[in-house]
Every structure is written in C-alpha cells, then in structure tokens.
Structure 1
Amino acid sequence: MREHQVDFVTLNPSHVDDFIAQPTGRPVTALTRNDARYKVRRYLDWLHERNLIGFGASWLRVRGRKKLLPEPAEHFLTSLTPTLEPSTCDQYRGSLRALHDWMEAQAVALGDLNRQHLQRWFQYLHDKGQAPATRVNIIVAVRVYLRSLNDAGLLEERADDLVRNTDLPKLPLYLPRPLEPEADEQLRARLARAHDPYQRGLLLMRNTGLRIGELSSLEYDCLRTDVKGNHFLKVPLGKLKKERLVPLDAQTYQLAQELRQGGRAGRTWLLESVRGCKTRAIHFNMALETAAHGLEIPNGMTSHRLRHTYATSLMSGGMSLMGVMKLLGHRDYRMTLRYTEITLETVGEEYHAAVTKLETRYRLALKSTAPAKLDPDQALSAIIRWVQKRAGDNPKAQRRAERLVKRLKRIREDVGEL
C-alpha cells in the first residue's frame, strides 16, 4: 500500500486482487497465492468489522470442493489407490472430471456415449488450447476408465473403438537445452561465490544432475564413502521411484559438506526453508532467477537446464550413454537420448579422432609389411590354371588358351633351369 500510495480510505477490491495475483511482486505458485488469499481475507474482515474499510472480503473465500463424480467413476478411482501414487490418482480424477463435466453440459448419459461424442470432446479439448502432452494424458486416462466400464458391462461400445490411437495428438520432440559453455562457467562461478543456501544447492544440482524434486528431498545424511575413499551422493526416491548413488569430485564433496554444516542442527533434510520445512521448487527457482540475472541465456533459464548441461558435458567428455543413463537415474536409454543429445561439436571431434586413428593404423601397416617371398614355379602354375579356366567353352578362346599355356610351360621350364 505504501509503494502504491494507497491508504484505508482509497483501498478497494481491485487493489486487493492485484496484490493476490502477485503477492511477492513476481509470479508465484497457486499454493503461495492461496496462502496470501487466506491471510489477507482475515485481515480485511478484521478491518471491516472495525469500520476501517468499507468492504468485506467474502469474495476471497476459497471455493468449496466440487461435487463427486458419478458412482462408476468414483469406484474406478478407488480401485486405483492400492497400486498408484496419490498424485497419479489425482491426475486420473482430473481427467475423468474433464470428461464428465463436458458430458453433463452436453446432456450425454454414460451408457449412451458413442464415437461421435468422443470426437466432439477431443475437439473441445483442442479448442481450449491445452498442450498436446496434457491432452494425451487426459485421453489415455479416459480410455483406461472406459475399458473398466466395458468390464463392468456399463458401456455398450468398446473403449478401443471410442478412443483410438489416432486420436492422440502428436507430441513435439524437444531437444535438450544445455547452457553454452561460457554462460555455464559464469553461472557456476556466481553460485560458488554465493552465501544463499538455495544458490549453493543449485550448484550441487548442476554438479550432480539432480532433478529439482530430488534436490528438495536430499536427506541430511546423504553422503557415502566406499572403501577406496571415493565419495558419493545418495539420491532418494524420485520421479521414477529409484534410488541411486552419484559420484562426487573433491569440490562437490566439499560443497555438500558445507551445506551439511550450515543450517539447523538435527534437521531431516540437507536444505530446508527458513521455517524449518522441506524446500519447494519455487525457492530454488527464485534463487536461480537472481543468480542468472544479467547473463545472456537464450530461451530463458530454468532449473532443468542445469541437468541438461550436466548430462551433455559428460557425453562431450567421452562418457558412454549407459554411464550417463545410470547417473541420471533413467530406466530406459531412450529417456537418456532425449536429455543428452550429442552436440555437433562432439560429433566433429569423434569424426576427426576416428580419421586420425585410421590413418595411423594404415600407415603403420604399410611400414611394417615385409616383401613377400616369390615362388616362380607356383606363380606360373597359378597363371596357367587361371588361363585354362578363363577360356571356358568357347572353341576360339580355347585355341588361344592352348597356345598361351604352351608358352607359359616353356617359360616355367626355363625358369626352373635357372
């Protein structure tokens, strides 16, 4: 209010809405906005009760929960809970919500659902401007749901006839976006000089290829040392529910030790918020935005580009695809190929190295090859056999071959006398 020269007399709901949209002066997550909305609503209600402002804050109340989905959908979602993560079940619920809300608006009963209805729904999702990947996830989840309705006898048409593979949008193929070497070096230097633990954590992420969620979930006791004295970072269960050990060089190990020594003693996580809670992605994203300010980074800077840079730098240094795959924690090499596209510079270096190796090999072979010993009798005998075979069944060629063979035999006898 002070910054915008607004007091209690001139304050109005539009000022409040502007603040709620960006309570920190920059874009924030929905969780942060809801937290600000709750606190501001209570404060405004307190002011309104004392007649310090002329409006209440009822419009800031969080909306109630949506009504339940139809019983078959709720039964299907319940069947998923023993085998799927809660977040995955929430994604299924959102997908089914998108279908049933549209069916309700179009007055379409579940038992009457047909191919024409689904085609109109696909078009509706497209017209909403949803990304191809979002539509693929929704459509695939709905197809699984429709198959369960087939099994329960609640749907006449086959799910695979209602939703076909050709209905899935084509996904764009994005190449990894590693930082340019100069920008990477400058950013790492800034992170190394920083005192902010979030920026220091980003440097650990750059040097180990962690995902942002894995960085937040690093435990305080995350360092390991083998019998040979090699140091490793224990990465907890992450996106693929898979633990792994990432080797550390001396500088990165020292960085991890410094992060352990800082902060509150007896904490659970290696990095925690100022309130002693688990860190969130927004904390690191804001720290990265500060650290990268002023650097020339095309296409914008994101935390995941640190992971891309880590992987491509290892491949450029000669590390194998399988080695990078293990470090990144991928289950399928095709996942690694998406993250670690070999650069043209690396291809050029490998080409020149291969050409040089071939030239050296053939040059050494020519120098080391000694002249073969010649046996005239065997050589002339081989020529005679070749001429006879070459003549074939042609009478004219056979006569010429006979004359040539006679001369070759005389030459062989003369050479033998020598």
Structure 2
Amino acid sequence: MHADLREAFAEWLAHLASGRRLSPKTVIAYERDVRQFLSFLGRQKNESPSLASLENLKPADLRAFLAERRQADVGSRSLMRQLAGLRSFAKYLERTERGEAAAFTAVRGPRVNRTLPKPMSAPAARAVTDADLRASEDRPQWVLARDAAVFALLYGCGLRISEALAITRQDAPIEGTDSVTVIGKGNKMRSVPVLAEVSAAITEYLALCPFTLAPDEPMFRGQKGGPLSARVVQLAMQSLRGALGLPSSATPHALRHSFATHLLSRGGDLRAIQELLGHASLSTTQGYTKVDASRLMAAYDAAHPRARP
C-alpha cells in the first residue's frame, strides 16, 4: 500500500487499541479484515492501494469483495464483522480529514440469522460445579476442585471464561468475600456479586493448589503451573457432558447463558442482568427474554389441552 495509506492504517489501529480500548483480539481481527480488503483491491485495480483509491471506491467494488469472501465459505457473521472493520476505518479517515469513503456505508451487510442462547437446566448447571461428580477420574483432586471453581464462577457470577481465568490471587473471591471485580470487553471493569457456594469452591481449590501463587498472577493454574487455558476448561466440560449425558450445547459459555436465563425466569431485572453480564447494549441482553419466552411456549404446547391438534 502507498505510504499515505500505510500511515493512516497504523494510526487507526493505535486509535482502536488506546483510544477506543478495544480488546487485542478485536484489533487483530480488524487489522486482518482490512488487510484482506486492501489486498483484494490491489488485485482488482492492479495497483497499490492508496487513500485516493479508497475515496474513489464504488459500492460495486465492495460487493465484489464480499462475494469473493462468500465464495471462500466465509459466514455471514464474519462478513458483518469484516464490513464493520472497514466502516470503522473509513470513518477514521473522515474524522482525520484524509478523505471520504462513502462506498462502505452504501453497501448493506449480509443478513444474519440470530441464534438464541442455549442455556443448561438448573440441575445440570449446578451438577457441573460439583467436583465429586468426577471423583472416579484419574485426575489430581486439586484439578477437579479447580475445574469446579471455574464452572462455579461462570454459572454463579455469569462471567466470560476469559474474565474468570484472568482473576488474580489477590482478587480471588474467597470465603468472606461478597463480590469480585473483573475486566470485560473493552477493558471495562465491573463488580459482580459472589454467592457463598462460589466462594467456597474457590477457597477449596486454593487450599489444594500445589503451586505458590503470586498476588498479581492468575489464580487458576494448569497442571504444569502456568496460567490455565480456556481449552483445558472446554475439555473438562466435554468430559462432564459424557458423564452427565448433556448435549453438545453444554459448553463453558452456556453456563453464562444459564446464569442470565435462570435469573430472568426468577424475575430478575433486565437492566440489572445487563450490568452483571457486562453487555454494552441492552439489545444483547434482550436475547434472553426470547429464550425464556420460547421455553414458556414449549411448556404451553406440551401441556395445554388447547395447544394439541
């Protein structure tokens, strides 16, 4: 790409990371998405992309790019994210008076079918937080207690798995602690209440953990002493699915869905649940109202005499 575009591109990425405080993964994804488009543009125009070539873009150019990505079996959600990254870059160019790229806003994104979250039942969600269920496994007791503590945080506090694994030893919500502070998407901090059962599970894990934990390091550890990875937690849930006969939709993230759905079904306030989950938009949280409604309708269809043909 030309030097003018390269400079603007680098500044935009720095702005995403420091100005908008997006997560590193999101910045990397946006960088990759825009690079893919610029590579496509260079091939289409047979020239190195520049700020001028972006300003002269036609909607047909962008549609051709999306069509090529679709032919490469890229899904609608990925295409929507890619288009969002391109629009973000275009808006940044406008704000910094480097030109207008109107084509990015003139093209409608692909239709995305929103799938409802798939929560676990309350008994199943509670069962995966019980270390005794895996007592027959040939695993150290501290590992079983560790996994149970992670699952307890996901279900009892509604945390994302990345948020749970990032909690440090000094911030561990042990017995006697009634809240935990986590850093969510966009580096936004929030405080979440901690149930006594969750604190007890974490206290038990820490008592059994064979490693010395520095105050500012993650409290959850792998078997070799390094920070616990999300993949290990996913494999532990996979093992529990087999033991409990749970469906493939029973994942660590499903525990977070279960937290929200079960709170809502017990009369929880939607705004409060939004804050507990760390959702930036209420519309994201509103997906759980559809889950709850669909469960009610399923029960109605199964039990009500008038619902039967």
* 1:195-274 alignment, distance < 5 Å: 195=141, 196=144, 197-223=146-172, 231-263=177-209, 264-267=211-214, 268-274=217-223
Distance (Å, rounded) in 1 between the aligned partners of 2:91 and 2:263: 44
Please, what is the CA RMSD of the aligned residues? 3.1
Return the letter of the residue paired with 2:109.
L
Return the letter of the residue paired with 1:312.
T
Distance (Å, rounded) in 1 between the aligned partners of 2:294 and 2:33: 43
Return the letter of the residue paired with 1:325.
Q
CA contact (8 A) 1:234 1:243 kept: no
CA contact (8 A) 1:223 1:233 kept: no
What TM-score, normalized to structure 1?
A: 0.58
Residue of structure 2 equivalent to 1:133: 77
* 2:75 maps to 1:75: no
Residue of structure 2 equivalent to 1:334: 283
Residue of structure 1 equivalent to 2:307: none
Change in 2 beyond 3 A, CA 1:341/1:261: farther
CA contact (8 A) 2:90 2:101 kept: yes
The superposition leaves residues 338-358 of structure 1 with CA deviations (integer Å, 9 ceiling, x where unpaired) of: 24545248868xx9xxxxxxx
* 2:110 maps to 1:169: yes
Q: Which of 103, 109, 128 is 1:187 aligned to? A: 128
What TM-score, normalized to structure 2?
A: 0.76
Return the letter of the residue paired with 2:193.
P
CA contact (8 A) 1:209 1:306 kept: yes
CA contact (8 A) 1:136 1:168 kept: yes
* 2:105 maps to 1:105: no
Residue of structure 2 equivalent to 1:116: 60
Distance (Å, rounded) in 2 between the aligned partners of 1:316 and 1:248: 19
In structure 2, runs of 5+ residues without a counterpart are 136-140, 301-309
Distance (Å, rounded) in 2 between the aligned partners of 1:323 and 1:191: 33
CA contact (8 A) 2:179 2:194 kept: yes
CA contact (8 A) 1:176 1:338 kept: yes
Q: Which of 7, 22, 31 is 1:93 aligned to? A: 31
Return the letter of the residue paired with 1:335.
T
* 1:323-362 alignment, distance < 5 Å: 323-339=272-288, 341=290, 343-344=292-293
Residue of structure 2 equivalent to 1:142: 86
Aligned length: 275
Distance (Å, rounded) in 1 between the aligned partners of 2:95 and 2:124: 56
Aligned-residue offset at 1:182: 4.7
Q: Which of 119, 144, 147 is 1:178 aligned to? A: 119
Return the letter of the residue paired with 1:290.
S
